[in-house]
Amino acid sequence: MSVRIQVTINGQSREAEVEPRTLLVDFLREHLQLTGTHVGCDTSSCGACNILIDGQSAKSCTMLAAQVDGSEIITVEGLAQNGNLHPIQEGFKEEHGLQCGFCTPGMMMTAVDLLNHNPDPSESEIRHALEGNFCRCTGYHNIVRSVQYAAKKIRESKKEAVA
């Protein structure tokens, strides 16, 4: 059998027929060619596949495409707006928060979710929020700095907007 789904991905409505067992991550990568979302494990552990579903970070390897029918999804490809990098993307570049880049999209999606809820997280809150994301390259040191950079940048831009 197949299931018909409609999702809004990075602002664009997409429709597709999928086999029920199609994992969301395979749907993104193989049906929509959004290959920025990666698969690093089988056990919902590593977070390389993290995306935002209706504003919340989620592991797209542990969901069926059928489950997100009608949802709004943001992937790493949807972070930059009008050619401007999202502050978290800037943070990762400025603070050398990535090396091989494979865990980076998932790591950034988790960080975006954190900063949406907690605009000024402490180091320990950042580390705790990243508990579902593995990185083998950076030792997390500069990832923490990257999130702090983005947090500051977002706070400052909000202040400016108010002023």
List the one residue from 31, 72, 132, 152 that touches another protein (CB under 8 A): 132
Closest distance to another protein from the beta carbon of 162 (Å): 26
Out of 66, 72, 153, 155, point to the residue binding another protein (CB under 8 A): 66
- Distance from C-alpha of 124 to C-alpha of 149, rounded to nearest angstrom: 15
φ and ψ at residue 57, rounded to 5 degrees: -70, 140
**For residue 155, what are its two tokens?**
């706070």
Helix axes 87-94, 104-117, angle to 10 degrees: 120
Distance in angstroms (rounded) separating the CA atoms of residues 111 and 94: 15
- Smallest distance from another protein to CB 146, Å: 10
The nearest distance, CB 115 to another protein, in angstroms, is 12
Residues 92-121 that bind another protein (CB under 8 A): 92-94, 96, 98-105, 108, 110, 113-114
